[in-house]
Structure 1
């Protein structure tokens, strides 16, 4: 049924779809796929459709996708056993698990959701630590959320104390009977909506019953933010304590019987209005009947995800034992991706100061209900208290302070408290074993900690699986000193007069050594230059090392060989800049070089009418061992690497690759003719010798 009013409420539907995103296994918050939706005012129903599809043909079995939903700020993802830093509190989000084999979808419905930004996050199960090479087949899933809403247009406004007569008839069936808007001004301690003179009739007969359901507020996201009352008799009232200030609330009246005509009147009232007073900075305030003292607060934006709040009249705030002191902190949307920090310091003895920190709705009766707030106590023994809230919701936060004496002996009636409120990117900058990183979802910025050296937790404070200092030093030495196996390679190359190749091997050894010395996750780190430069040179040198070695084995003319050296190096440098960890950066040069080598070998074999290279000793003692080392190293690099054994497997990869080049270069041994004191050109195609 739809109530017949002077101005009938109309409902419209809207649809919002976000692009599909590839899901990742969870190891830190950067693996979470975050999407932001906006729900307008007067939304009656919000329905999310979450779809997950497998996009790879690789057999994967069934994987569970975890989805989070939260109003006002991104969800705080806390897997089982996650540890948060001290004095850090967080509120859980609505979450669900979606099992996916090939594709699956689910819906989430919210009735009368709070207006504003809603955040959806999704990720695959926790990472198992296996290192997957980019470009190889793997299990890939994409996640796409979709939001459809139904909102009311031209909603009538309930004026305070003014009765609004309503009549409901069964002519137009509808889920929502009547929707109203109600404005809550500042300094209101409680709000009530009353339904009176309610009567219902069936086929012209009046039974005197009132089959109505009265709902005040939103169903999400705050606890106790909605009050629901089943009316009986001729009327009922819904009372909302500590309503959010300076905002609009929704009032919904529904009927539990569809075949009756209902007549009633509705009105709203605000009770216990608070009178605000500006608290002087030094002098003791005079008694007044006001409920609280209001202290103006300013804030400045220092950087991305960095806000600093400060009271107008100085850092210290006077707190009394007669009236609560109120400070309001508006938190904009662009700051919700950081951490809200509160530190309180009391400058007095023999008394206790109690703090109530709440979102949207400060209590006039001081700290009467902490269900939607946080409580801090500072006193003579504990003069400082700290509270940190990751991903705080976008709203006005209220800090309420009051002086309380624990004994009969009373001290001064006013003390000074220094509230320090700020927004920072991460909690304590992620500590010693963490790095605070700035993330982006389209135009929205947020931050998270990525932990190192086995440390874990939201702020990288969980050291239960941390690596010891000896373990970190051992790992660094293994990864760096294993590159010294390229010294024999350089010696052999110089001995065989492959000076260009030797310079490439020297370049590779140098930058691989110092890249791995800089790439370590713990404190055993040494960086001689920028990390990105070291990584680029290491990757470039590794691929060029393979490129020149295979071309050297092709035994083509020097003019062609050195031209291919230069051309290939330039193309490899370009591809490294485009996608440094791409599969084809390595596979492309290797295949091209192999094609050139095989073509040269086949040409020589056909021209000589014999197998090339000739000689079984060369194959048995040099070529086959070199190829075996290369195959073992590639298999170990691609399939055997995990985060736990990376130090050992990658060090063995260095050794195997260096051994492979030694065997292959030794197989190409040749001795030039010497004419006096000059080196003469050898006119033969090749002079293979086995030494």
Structure 2
């Protein structure tokens, strides 16, 4: 039965994968790999604390991945919409209720996908061509509230569940290109290649030589198109932002087809060669690396050794540079002369056309605490770990830091760049352009602005402009790159206008305060209208703000539905002071000599006031723990009903004492078992009414 169900489920998926394989005409594995996740209960979304996290692992060399989601709900409930967000490297950052984010938040996610479905047991699919290998995370929640607020126990709760599975298809073999060594090829269909970029690789040149079609074509010299992509196979089905297209069809007769690209350091990079025409092509392909020389010793430096399947592991490096390169990629030993070493060049040269323009690189040192997501990076400079560093005013400075999988991704990353007030600006002002990018070195324009990545700037014109903070919630695991590009200017005031004139920097260096740190929520707090909590879901921990008083958003900064302080104070006063209505009942009980009942009413009034005063969100007062006050409030309320009914029954003194003790013990047990349950209130009241009726009937029949 289980085998039949799996086959029926995989049939449409296999059809999709087979069609994709036919279109790409590549060699794939015989059977797709399937990851099936167990069903998880979904909650209605009020804050990020209500999401369920699902984790998937995409194998290396995956060219097609299909995620399948199926949701169902209790049979007596109507179908509800379910939202599923899928993200590579970390948890998706979403605002399904259109909440606003705090200022400075970096929200761009290159690999975020979204799918919606109903809880009607119908399957929804999400197809991704050539996904990045590694950790993928999905969050799911019910997008529509189940029911109105009703008494617990008076209805059957609606429960929604989500099941999911991942089906992947991988490429069996991908030839490896060694630097400086041409690889002769003869292909008539698309073909994959790969190369491993060592540490500090500035650029990689991909060159195709001796390209000719069989039979020889007269109109096109080289009918080939190359797609180059770091860390994942290039895709021809979906648009991918991080892949480069190289067209060799316009190559002139006798010329080589070549292009220089930015690779991902210490990772596999992949090339897809496509044949434009239905013919056989002969060519030779090779790659050449330009590697930057080290400028400073990196205390966090490690060696990354690629394994056969594409996975990597890390080990400390206590060897020289030549030995390190050989351990990273064994092919480098075969042709060490192919490694070109570049030197720093002025920042205002054209970077894309300059193959030797390396930036000065300053390593960062990682520090960590025992708490969740608590770590920080500071520059490793002559002052050994302080946030101040000196950078050149003539070149761009590059720093990198790593976000570790699982343990680092559930917090909030903050990158702070500041120009100290001690900088001398008598000769010229200084501005600093920053560019933050994930996974690959940012691409800059001639003036130092970002072509890719998150851009920011600081300058010495005013005190507020000296500090820049970039906030990344749930940062993706992997390497992050930050560039610092200085620029000097002189600000002249003519009348009411300021004229800014670019000048050459008077000093060769300038001081910068750089701090990269992570914490829960936003600096471990959520402002005045929320609290920061850590939650577990699917074995993963993450931090989020739980807002109060109608405030919403990632940092409880969205006041669209906020309740004013005056209204909150009025609500608390009305809720607590309304308990003075017990005073007439207390006085009447004492007057009629019902001291037990009067004492219970007094306790009920006092504990109700204290509980509601402590349970308020803003204006609260807690004499003791909220759980204790809640128990006393619920217990005394139900006990007040019980002693009232027993008093009305007019039982003999012995039976009345027995009823009081039995009720006190039974109600205490019931309230501790389920304080908000309907039957906790109905059962003692029902028994009391039965005792009252029996007493009245027996009295009138005597």
TM class, shorter-chain normalised? Answer: 0.7 to 0.9
The answer on whether the counterparts of 2:115 and 2:126 sit within 8 Å (CA) in structure 1 is no
The answer on whether the counterparts of 1:159 and 1:267 sit within 8 Å (CA) in structure 2 is no
CA 1:273/1:555 → structure 2, altered by over 3 Å: closer, same or farther?
farther
The superposition leaves residues 550-609 of structure 1 with CA deviations (integer Å, 9 ceiling, x where unpaired) of: 555566623541342243134224414xxx54xxx331452354146426635863x567
Structure 2: 5+ residue runs without aligned partners? Answer: 1-20, 299-342, 346-355, 490-501
1:216 is aligned to 2:228: yes
CA 1:152/1:597 → structure 2, altered by over 3 Å: closer, same or farther?
same
Which of residues 198, 201, 204 in structure 2 aligns to 1:191? 204
Which of residues 364, 368, 379 in structure 2 aligns to 1:301? 368
The answer on whether the counterparts of 1:75 and 1:120 sit within 8 Å (CA) in structure 2 is yes
Cα distance, 1:113 vs structure 2: 0.6
The answer on whether the counterparts of 2:436 and 2:442 sit within 8 Å (CA) in structure 1 is no
Which of residues 577, 590, 594 in structure 2 aligns to 1:481? 577
Larger radius of gyration between Structure 1 and Structure 2: 1
Which of residues 405, 429, 442 in structure 1 aligns to 2:488? 405
Q: Secondary structure at the match of 2:663?
A: helix
Q: Secondary structure at the match of 2:611?
A: helix
Cα distance, 1:39 vs structure 2: 1.6
In structure 2, what is the Cα distance between the partners aligned to 1:72 and 1:13? 22
Q: Secondary structure at the match of 2:628?
A: helix
Number of equivalences: 582
In structure 1, what is the Cα distance between the partners aligned to 2:477 and 2:602? 55
Matches within 5 A, 1:228-627: 228-229=245-246, 232=249, 241-253=261-273, 262-265=280-283, 267-278=285-296, 291-302=358-369, 303-312=371-380, 313=384, 314-333=386-405, 334-347=407-420, 348=423, 349=425, 350-363=429-442, 367=448, 369-381=450-462, 382-406=465-489, 407-408=502-503, 410-428=505-523, 429-522=525-618, 524-550=619-645, 557-576=655-674, 580-581=675-676, 585-591=677-683, 593-595=685-687, 597-598=689-690, 601-602=693-694, 605=697
Matches within 5 A, 1:30-49: 30-49=49-68
In structure 2, what is the Cα distance between the partners aligned to 1:532 and 1:266? 75
Q: Secondary structure at the match of 1:518?
A: helix
Cα distance, 1:84 vs structure 2: 1.4
Cα distance, 1:529 vs structure 2: 2.3
The answer on whether the counterparts of 1:543 and 1:572 sit within 8 Å (CA) in structure 2 is no
In structure 2, what is the Cα distance between the partners aligned to 1:536 and 1:256? 76
Cα distance, 1:213 vs structure 2: 5.4
The answer on whether the counterparts of 1:299 and 1:307 sit within 8 Å (CA) in structure 2 is yes
**Equivalent residue, structure 2, for 1:647:** none
Which of residues 64, 80, 90 in structure 2 aligns to 1:63? 80
**Equivalent residue, structure 2, for 1:24:** 43
CA 1:99/1:290 → structure 2, altered by over 3 Å: closer, same or farther?
closer
**Equivalent residue, structure 2, for 1:680:** none
CA 1:408/1:599 → structure 2, altered by over 3 Å: closer, same or farther?
closer
Cα distance, 1:64 vs structure 2: 2.7
Matches within 5 A, 1:86-101: 86-92=103-109, 94-100=112-118
In structure 1, what is the Cα distance between the partners aligned to 2:32 and 2:159? 33
**Equivalent residue, structure 2, for 1:627:** none
CA 1:542/1:215 → structure 2, altered by over 3 Å: closer, same or farther?
farther
The answer on whether the counterparts of 2:65 and 2:129 sit within 8 Å (CA) in structure 1 is yes
CA 1:341/1:597 → structure 2, altered by over 3 Å: closer, same or farther?
same
Q: What do you get for the CA RMSD once the two structures are aligned?
A: 3.6
In structure 1, what is the Cα distance between the partners aligned to 2:296 and 2:478? 22
Cα distance, 1:101 vs structure 2: 6.1
Cα distance, 1:304 vs structure 2: 0.8
1:160 is aligned to 2:233: no
**Equivalent residue, structure 2, for 1:635:** none
The answer on whether the counterparts of 2:119 and 2:160 sit within 8 Å (CA) in structure 1 is no
**Equivalent residue, structure 2, for 1:665:** none
The answer on whether the counterparts of 1:199 and 1:264 sit within 8 Å (CA) in structure 2 is yes
Cα distance, 1:497 vs structure 2: 4.8
CA 1:213/1:512 → structure 2, altered by over 3 Å: closer, same or farther?
farther
Cα distance, 1:159 vs structure 2: 1.7
The superposition leaves residues 397-423 of structure 1 with CA deviations (integer Å, 9 ceiling, x where unpaired) of: 122112211222532110110111101
CA 1:345/1:601 → structure 2, altered by over 3 Å: closer, same or farther?
same
Matches within 5 A, 1:594-673: 594-595=686-687, 597-598=689-690, 601-602=693-694, 605=697
In structure 1, what is the Cα distance between the partners aligned to 2:639 and 2:209? 85
Q: Secondary structure at the match of 1:77?
A: coil
Cα distance, 1:254 vs structure 2: 5.2
CA 1:326/1:97 → structure 2, altered by over 3 Å: closer, same or farther?
closer
The answer on whether the counterparts of 1:196 and 1:264 sit within 8 Å (CA) in structure 2 is no
Cα distance, 1:309 vs structure 2: 1.5
The superposition leaves residues 55-74 of structure 1 with CA deviations (integer Å, 9 ceiling, x where unpaired) of: 2403x3x5332221111111
Q: Secondary structure at the match of 2:682?
A: helix
Structure 1: 5+ residue runs without aligned partners? Answer: 171-176, 281-285, 611-684, 686-691
CA 1:419/1:133 → structure 2, altered by over 3 Å: closer, same or farther?
farther
**Equivalent residue, structure 1, for 2:324:** none
Cα distance, 1:477 vs structure 2: 0.2
In structure 2, what is the Cα distance between the partners aligned to 1:337 and 1:245? 25
Cα distance, 1:107 vs structure 2: 0.4
Cα distance, 1:115 vs structure 2: 1.6
**Equivalent residue, structure 2, for 1:173:** none
Q: Secondary structure at the match of 1:19?
A: strand
The superposition leaves residues 73-112 of structure 1 with CA deviations (integer Å, 9 ceiling, x where unpaired) of: 1111123642111222212564445352633321011111
